[in-house]
């Protein structure tokens, strides 16, 4: 691998260290027994703002500070990235204007405002969101932080796997869910740098399997009409992340929503923690492929815990 | 205090150490901001069998081993104590017969059997449960482990507060929910031994406030017709626990089910962990008495996480 990636992830980790939590790794004897292997759950649901997104947003925002030409930060998001950028901008002392769709949950809009960011509501379409951001870039001179297709965001997300390899050694595989691919790409760069013998397994819901289809066909196939409970994974893989993922995953494995819900329930019942449906995809992959992982030591990233408790699927 | 208590808790902790988890203390900046004080949540929901009950059961069972006259262990319980005694007996290599009411959740009956214990189903009345246990004591010569009115159980529960004082210093108060009073009594004995300047606050639902009524009147008033979502706290305070509690609490404070549910939701949303309703009572007490606790450092015991996810009140 290009050694520069390692240097960039090291720099990112130093840059964001005071703004993030070193999240714990949890284990469960009873889940291990069911799965037939040893599972290490990296709990990004305990991260600041409740999701790994804080790592990438903080790195992207903090590396801009000191540049006097920066008027402020902007992005569009209905969820975790919006909160992460708002909090990172607040900690950096920068203005933030976040474009959010008018149908975003009120509690998320309130959280973004609570971090001191200005919220610009728009129609709930991707076009309206992108237009809103373009207007802020042009009129206010703000810098756009893409949620996943941005090298500084990818390096920031890579600090999660770096921590895993500092917390646990001799891992046979790292299982990561794939949405836009920022966490997956960052995890790959960290694995190549810090634990090159660890296999990398991408995990997707069958109802949003663009990375799997792309990997199988060798072509970048965007996601259309995603349909899955794992709402954090409906996004198409980004342009920067695509080649990194295609060249480095040992496999991409997919699971049904029923398998995702059963794994989610196991995590609530046995680990006693609150997670989003997307987080359960790697465990569902393990349970659906027991022979493949028998006796192995596997790390699984639990990406976040910002779930609407009234909408739990059990 | 009688120094023997400290010695007994030390012995209990050594005895059970390999059978329990040293559970973490979690904190939340956002809950602290809401509460106006610093809260340290001791996470017994992460304990073996998912509740603090493992501490007392393990101590009571393990101190019997080596006595060749012991044929086995028995108790009656519909929930956490049953699982705790079953697992402790398994680890001690002793037989266990657990009397459970026929309306106990199937998943709990299966869990007890999963630990290798024999389950004796009975009619769902206290009388039938006690008769069932008496029969096992007489016919099989088994030893009964009372869920809370048992000195070894109390010493075992006391190891939870001992750990808190080893993990955090200078705590102004410890807040503990009161059901049968075993955890409260054990916490009191540990506090007197390890952190005598820390105030002890009992916490109860208004719908099962026998300890509060007893404390106010100076008489032991048993609970009748409890009505609260905090189902772990419906029990009357035990005979051994009663005088320990009455002599040592700074106060017993009560909260409504609405306040309990709001606190429970906060813990799910901000700490991202799964807890039983009973666990939320101390946080509800803090939020209902902000002026009393302003700026203080408070430890709260989250007693367990064995909740039916289909029955969450939100």
**What does the DSSP assignment read for B13-76?**
HHHHGGGS----EE--HHHHHHHTSEEEEEEGGGSGGGBTHHHHHHHHHHTTTT-TT---EEEE
d(CA A46, CA A274): 9
Q: Show residues of chain B in contact with A312, CB under 8 Å.
A: 309, 312
Interface test with A, best of B33, B49, B272 (most A CBs within 10 A): B272
The distance of B158 to chain A (nearest Cα, Å) reads 23
d(CA A161, CA B314): 34
Q: Show residues of chain B in contact with A45, CB under 8 Å.
A: 272
Assigned domain for B146 exists: no
Rounded to the nearest integer, the mean pLDDT of chain B is 95
B274 interfaces chain A, CB cutoff of 8 Å: yes
d(CA A50, CA B269): 9
Same domain, B106 and B226: no
Assigned domain for A246 exists: yes
Same domain, B235 and B163: yes
3-state secondary structure of B129: helix
> Could you say which of B269, B309, B314 has the minimum Cβ distance to residue A314?
B309
Q: How far is CA B54 from CA B3, B13, B73, B106, in A?
A: 25, 12, 15, 20
Contact (Cβ atoms closer than 8 angstroms) between residue A286 and residue A36: no
Q: Show residues of chain B in contact with A273, CB under 8 Å.
A: 272-274
Contact (Cβ atoms closer than 8 angstroms) between residue B115 and residue B83: yes
**Class of residue A72 by CB neighbours under 10 A (exposed 0-12, middle 13-18, buried 19+):** middle
Contact (Cβ atoms closer than 8 angstroms) between residue B304 and residue B275: yes
The distance of A208 to chain B (nearest Cα, Å) reads 26
Same domain, B172 and B228: yes
Strand order in the sheet with B297-302: B25-26, B38-43, B297-302, B173-177, B199-205, B251-255
pLDDT mean over B60-85:
88
A25 interfaces chain B, CB cutoff of 8 Å: no
d(CA B186, CA B52): 11
Token pair 């890579």: residue: A158
A275 interfaces chain B, CB cutoff of 8 Å: yes
Say what the pLDDT of residue A106 is: 85
Same domain, B121 and B265: no
Say what the pLDDT of residue B1 is: 57
Q: Which helix (H) or strand (E) holds A287?
A: helix A281-288
pLDDT at B69 over 70: no
B24 interfaces chain A, CB cutoff of 8 Å: yes
> Could you say which of A45, A50, A269 has the minimum Cβ distance to residue B309?
A269
Q: Which of B141, B172, B194 is the last residue of a domain?
A: B141
Q: What is the number of CB-based contacts under 8 A between chain A and chain B?
A: 36
Q: Which helix (H) or strand (E) holds A126?
A: helix A126-140
Say what the pLDDT of residue A68 is: 64
Torsion of CA B258, B206, B174, A50, to 10 degrees: -10
ipTM for the predicted complex comes to 0.91
Say what the pLDDT of residue B120 is: 97
Assigned domain for A57 exists: no
pLDDT mean over B268-290:
97
Same domain, B14 and B113: no
The CA radius of gyration of chain B, in Å to the nearest whole number, is 18
A50 interfaces chain B, CB cutoff of 8 Å: yes
Q: Show residues of chain B in contact with A265, CB under 8 Å.
A: 309
Q: How far is CA B280 from CA A147, A150, A188, B55, B301, in A?
A: 36, 41, 40, 20, 9
pLDDT digits (tens, 9 = 90+) for A132-156: 999 999 999 999 999 999 999 999 9
pLDDT tens series, chain A, 314 aa = 566 999 999 999 999 999 999 999 999 999 999 999 999 999 999 999 999 999 999 999 999 977 766 889 999 998 899 999 999 999 999 999 999 999 888 888 998 999 999 999 999 888 999 999 999 999 999 999 999 999 999 999 999 999 999 999 999 999 999 999 999 999 999 999 999 999 999 999 999 999 999 999 999 999 999 999 999 999 999 999 999 999 999 999 999 999 999 999 999 999 999 999 999 999 999 999 999 999 999 999 999 999 989 889 99
Assigned domain for A229 exists: yes
pLDDT mean over B77-97:
94
Using left for φ > 0, alpha for ψ between -120 and 50, and beta otherwise, residue B93 falls in left
Same domain, B133 and B216: no
Say what the pLDDT of residue B52 is: 98
B46 interfaces chain A, CB cutoff of 8 Å: yes
d(CA A106, CA B278): 29
Which residues span the domain enclosing A47? 3-51+157-311
Q: The domain spanning residue B195 has which CATH number?
A: 3.40.50.1100
Band of residue B254 on the pLDDT scale cut at 50, 70, 90: very high
The distance of B273 to chain A (nearest Cα, Å) reads 4
Same domain, B102 and B180: no
Is A53 among the residues known to form the active site? yes
Assigned domain for A65 exists: no
* Cα A22–Cα A48–Cα A82 angle in degrees, nearest 5: 140
d(CA A207, CA A213): 11
* Chain B 103-142, residues with CB within 8 Å of chain A CB atoms: none
Say what the pLDDT of residue A108 is: 86
Same domain, A200 and A263: yes
pLDDT mean over B13-20:
97
Within 10 angstroms of residue B114's Cβ, the number of other Cβ atoms is 13
* Cα A32–Cα A33–Cα A38 angle in degrees, nearest 5: 30
Among candidate residues A42, A48, A77, A78, the one labeled active-site is: A78
d(CA A145, CA A96): 11
Main-chain dihedrals φ then ψ at residue B273, nearest 5 degrees: -130, 160
Same domain, B299 and B238: yes
Say what the pLDDT of residue A173 is: 98
CB-based contact A272 B273, cutoff 8 Å: yes
Say what the pLDDT of residue A50 is: 95
Contact (Cβ atoms closer than 8 angstroms) between residue B89 and residue B96: yes
Q: Which of A85, A112, A141 is the last residue of a domain?
A: A141
Closest by alpha carbon to A126, among A226, A244, A52, A230? A226
B258 interfaces chain A, CB cutoff of 8 Å: no
Angle between helices B182-194 and B53-62 (to 10 degrees): 80
CB-based contact A272 B24, cutoff 8 Å: no
User: Chain A residue closest to B107 (CA)?
Assistant: A269
Say what the pLDDT of residue A89 is: 96
Band of residue B78 on the pLDDT scale cut at 50, 70, 90: confident
3-state secondary structure of A154: helix
Copy the structure tokens of residue B147: 């869920």
Q: Show residues of chain B in contact with A272, CB under 8 Å.
A: 45-46, 50, 273-275, 305
What sign does the dihedral A135-A138-A144-A146 (CA atoms) show? positive
Q: How far is CA B56 from CA A134, B16, B152, in A?
A: 62, 9, 7
Tell me how many domains chain A contains.
2
CB-based contact B45 A272, cutoff 8 Å: yes
Q: Which has the higher per-residue pLDDT, A105 or B214?
A: B214
**Active-site amino acid positions of B:** 53, 78
The distance of A18 to chain B (nearest Cα, Å) reads 15
> Could you say which of B50, B275, B309 has the minimum Cβ distance to residue A265?
B309
Q: Burial code of A275-301, b = ≥16 C-beta within 10 A, e = fewer? A: bbbbbbbbbbbbbeeeeebeebbbbbb
d(CA A20, CA A53): 10
> Could you say which of B273, B309, B314 has the minimum Cβ distance to residue A310?
B314
Assigned domain for B57 exists: no
Same domain, A35 and A176: yes
Helices (H), chain B: 3-16, 29-35, 53-62, 80-92, 106-114, 126-140, 151-167, 182-194, 210-217, 241-248, 257-266, 281-288, 290-293
Q: Show residues of chain A in contact with B265, CB under 8 Å.
A: 309
Same domain, B40 and B172: yes
Torsion of CA A52, A53, A55, A60, to 10 degrees: 170
Assigned domain for A61 exists: no
Within 10 angstroms of residue B133's Cβ, the number of other Cβ atoms is 22
Copy the structure tokens of residue A171: 């891992």
Assigned domain for A150 exists: no
Q: Which of B141, B165, B191 is the last residue of a domain?
A: B141
Contact (Cβ atoms closer than 8 angstroms) between residue B129 and residue B101: yes
Interface test with B, best of A274, A303, A306 (most B CBs within 10 A): A274
pLDDT mean over B283-296:
98
pLDDT mean over B33-51:
97
Same domain, A187 and A243: yes
């Amino acid at each position: 691998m290009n050694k520069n990636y390692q240097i960039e992830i090291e720099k990112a980790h130093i840059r964001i260290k005071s703004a993030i939590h070193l999240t714990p790794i949890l284990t469960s004897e009873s889940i291990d027994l069911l799965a037939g292997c040893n599972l290490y759950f990296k709990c990004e649901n305990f991260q600041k703002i409740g999701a790994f997104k804080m790592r990438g947003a903080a790195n992207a925002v903090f590396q801009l500070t000191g540049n006097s030409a920066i008027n402020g930060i902007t992005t569009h998001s209905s969820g975790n990235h919006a909160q992460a950028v708002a909090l990172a901008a607040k900690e950096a002392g920068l203005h933030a204007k976040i474009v959010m769709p008018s149908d975003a949950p009120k509690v998320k809009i309130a959280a973004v405002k609570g971090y001191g960011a200005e919220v610009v509501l728009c129609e709930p379409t991707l076009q309206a969101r992108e237009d809103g951001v373009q207007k802020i870039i042009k009129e206010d001179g703000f810098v756009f932080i893409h949620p996943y297709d941005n090298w500084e965001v990818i390096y920031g997300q890579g600090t999660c796997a770096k921590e895993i390899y500092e917390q646990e050694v001799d891992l046979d595989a790292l299982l990561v869910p794939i949405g836009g691919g920022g966490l997956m790409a960052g995890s790959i760069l960290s694995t190549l740098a810090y634990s090159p013998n660890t296999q990398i397994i991408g995990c997707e819901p069958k109802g949003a399997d663009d990375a799997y289809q792309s990997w199988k066909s060798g072509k970048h196939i965007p996601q259309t009409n995603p349909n899955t409970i794992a709402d954090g994974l409906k996004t198409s893989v980004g342009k920067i992340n695509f080649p990194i993922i295609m060249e480095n995953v040992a496999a991409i494995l997919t699971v049904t929503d029923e398998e995702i819900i059963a794994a989610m329930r196991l995590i609530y019942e046995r680990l006693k923690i609150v997670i989003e449906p997307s987080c359960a995809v790697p465990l569902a992959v393990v349970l659906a492929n027991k022979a493949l992982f028998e006796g192995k030591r596997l790390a699984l990233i639990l990406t976040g815990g910002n779930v609407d408790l009234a909408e739990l699927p059990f």
